[in-house]
Structure 1
Amino acid sequence: MRRAASPRTAPFRNRVPVLESPAMDLSLSEEQDALTATAREFTRKEIIPRASHFDETGEFPKEILKRAWETGLMNIEIPDAF
C-alpha cells in the first residue's frame, strides 16, 4: 500500500526529474566545446603561472588581457537574434 504524500511533498510527486526531461538538451555544441577547451588551455598556460604575481603586486594583467583578446576570449559577440 502506498503512503499518501505529505503536504510538503505533494506538489513534487508527479514531476519528471530534470535529467530525464526530453524538453531540454543542455549539451554543448562543437563550437562551445572548442571555446571551453581554448579557455581552459589559455588559463592553464597564461593565467595560472602568473596569478600569484598579480595577487601579490595588485598589478593589472594588461598583457594577459591583450593575449586573451587576440585569442578570441574577450568581448565575444552575442548574435542580434538573442
Structure 2
Amino acid sequence: MITKLTIAAALSTALLAGAASQTYTQGIVEKCYGVAKAGKNDCQTATSSCAGTSKKDAQADAWLSVPKGTCEKITGGRLS
C-alpha cells in the first residue's frame, strides 16, 4: 500500500511540474512588474539574484506571474 502511494505521489509531482512549465510556453501567464510585496517576487530583479529578494513593496523591477490579461487590471501593474 505504501509503495502504491509513493508511486502515485511521484507521478502526481511529475505531472504538475510539467504542467507548470507549459503555462509559460503556452502564454497562459505573464510577468507583472511593480506589484510584488517586499520579499515576495517570483524571480530576479536588477539588484537581486532570485525569488523572494525584492527589498520594498511595488519595486519597479520585481515581478509576479499572473494569469494573462490580469496584470494591467492591477493598480500599478505593468508588463515591462
For normalisation by structure 2, the TM-score amounts to: 0.29
Q: Based on CA coordinates, which of the two structures has the bigger radius of gyration?
A: 1
Task: Name the structure where strand makes up a greater proportion of residues.
Answer: 2
The structure, 1 or 2, with the larger RCO (C-alpha pairs under 8 Å, 6+ apart) is 2
For normalisation by structure 1, the TM-score amounts to: 0.28
